[in-house]
Amino acid sequence: MSILEGISEPRDLDSLSVAQLQELCGDIREYLVESVSKTGGHLGPNLGVVEISVAIHRVFDSPNDAIVFDTGHQSYVHKLLTGRKDFSKLRQKDGIAGYPQRSESVHDIVESSHASSSLSWADGISRAFKATGQTSRHVVAVIGDGALTGGMAWEALNNITDDNDRNLVVIVNDNGRSYAPTIGGLARSLNAIRTESWYRKGYSLSRRIFSKFGPLGRLLFRAAHAAGQSVIVEASPNAMFPNLDLKYIGPIDGHNLQELETALRQAKDYGGPVIVHAVTQKGKGYDPAVSDAADQFHAVGKINPETGLPLSSGSGQSWTGVFSEEIVKIADANPRVVGITGAMLIPVGLDKFAEKHPGRVFDVGIAEQHAVTSAAGMAFGGLHPVVAIYSTFLNRAFDQVLMDVALHKAGVTFVLDRAGITGPDGASHHGVWDLSMLQVVPGMQLAAPRDGQRLKELLSEAIGVDDAPTAVRFPKGNIPSAIDAIVMTDDGVDILHQSPSKDVLLVSVGAFAHTAVQVAQLLAAQGIGTTVVDPRWILPIRSSLVDMAREHRLVVTLEDGVRVGGFGSRLRQELRAQGVDTGLNEVGVPAEFLEHAERDQILDRLGLNPRAIAIDIVAQVVGTKVPHAKPLDQTPFDSSIQESAQ
Let me know: does 141 contact 75? Beta carbons within 8 Å: no
Identify the weakest region by mean pLDDT among 206-215, 295-304, 543-552: 206-215
Q: Enumerate the known binding-site residues for thiamine diphosphate.
A: 73, 113-115, 146-147, 175, 286, 368
| CA terminus-to-terminus distance, the chain | 45
Q: What's the average model confidence in pLDDT over 379-406?
A: 97
Identify the weakest region by mean pLDDT among 61-75, 227-241, 387-401, 424-438: 227-241
Q: What's the average model confidence in pLDDT over 499-507?
A: 95
Pairing between β-strand 413-417 and β-strand 445-447 as defined by DSSP bridges? unpaired
Q: What's the average model confidence in pLDDT over 404-422?
A: 97
More confident residue, 204 or 279: 279
pLDDT digits (tens, 9 = 90+) for 221-266: 555 555 545 444 443 445 677 677 788 888 889 999 999 999 999 9
Query: Is the model's pLDDT at 534 over the cut of 90?
Result: yes
Q: 169 - beta bridge partners? A: 140, 274
With vertex at residue 143, the alpha carbon angle to CA 422 and CA 25, rounded to the nearest 5 degrees, is 90
Contacts of 582 (CB under 8 A, 6+ apart): 505, 549, 550, 552, 553, 554, 555, 575
Query: Is the model's pLDDT at 218 over the cut of 60?
Result: no
Which of 18-27, 157-166, 231-240, 628-637 has maximum average pLDDT?
Answer: 18-27
Helices (H) and strands (E) in the chain, counts: 25, 18
Query: Is the model's pLDDT at 188 over the cut of 50?
Result: yes
Domain architecture of the chain: domains with CATH: 60-72+99-288 (3.40.50.970), 319-473 (3.40.50.970), 487-645 (3.40.50.920)
Query: Is the model's pLDDT at 195 over the cut of 80?
Result: no
Query: Is the model's pLDDT at 196 over the cut of 80?
Result: no
Let me know: does 384 contact 552? Beta carbons within 8 Å: no
Identify the weakest region by mean pLDDT among 45-49, 179-183, 186-190: 179-183
Let me know: does 34 contact 9? Beta carbons within 8 Å: no
Global pTM?
0.87
Query: Is the model's pLDDT at 644 over the cut of 60?
Result: no
pLDDT for 29 equals 95
Contacts of 180 (CB under 8 A, 6+ apart): 294, 295, 343, 344, 345, 346, 363
Query: Is the model's pLDDT at 636 over the cut of 70?
Result: no
pLDDT level of residue 206 (50, 70, 90 thresholds): very low
Q: In whole angstroms, what is the distance from residue 618 CA to residue 523 CA?
A: 7
Contacts of the segment 305-309: beta carbons below 8 A, 24+ positions apart:
305/33, 305/34, 305/37
Query: Is the model's pLDDT at 205 over the cut of 50?
Result: no
pLDDT level of residue 443 (50, 70, 90 thresholds): very high
pLDDT for 371 equals 96
Return the closest-CA partner of residue 255 out of 28, 75, 42, 50. 50
pLDDT digits (tens, 9 = 90+) for 363-375: 998 899 999 999 9
Query: What percent of the chain shows pLDDT beyond 70?
Result: 88
Q: In whole angstroms, what is the distance from residue 79 CA to residue 503 CA?
A: 53
pLDDT for 423 equals 84
Query: Is the model's pLDDT at 631 over the cut of 80?
Result: no
Q: In whole angstroms, what is the distance from residue 172 CA to residue 252 CA?
A: 10
Q: What's 68's DSSP letter?
A: E
Q: What's the average model confidence in pLDDT over 618-626?
A: 81
Query: Is the model's pLDDT at 203 over the cut of 50?
Result: no
Start-end of H helices in 247-303: 257-270, 287-290
pLDDT for 228 equals 47
Alpha carbons within 13 angstroms on the beta-carbon side of residue 246 total: 28
Return the closest-CA partner of residue 489 out of 557, 441, 535, 521. 535
Let me know: does 139 contact 66? Beta carbons within 8 Å: yes
Active site residues: 282, 368, 396
* Average pLDDT score over the chain: 88
pLDDT level of residue 627 (50, 70, 90 thresholds): confident
Query: Is the model's pLDDT at 208 over the cut of 60?
Result: no
Q: What's the average model confidence in pLDDT over 162-176?
A: 89
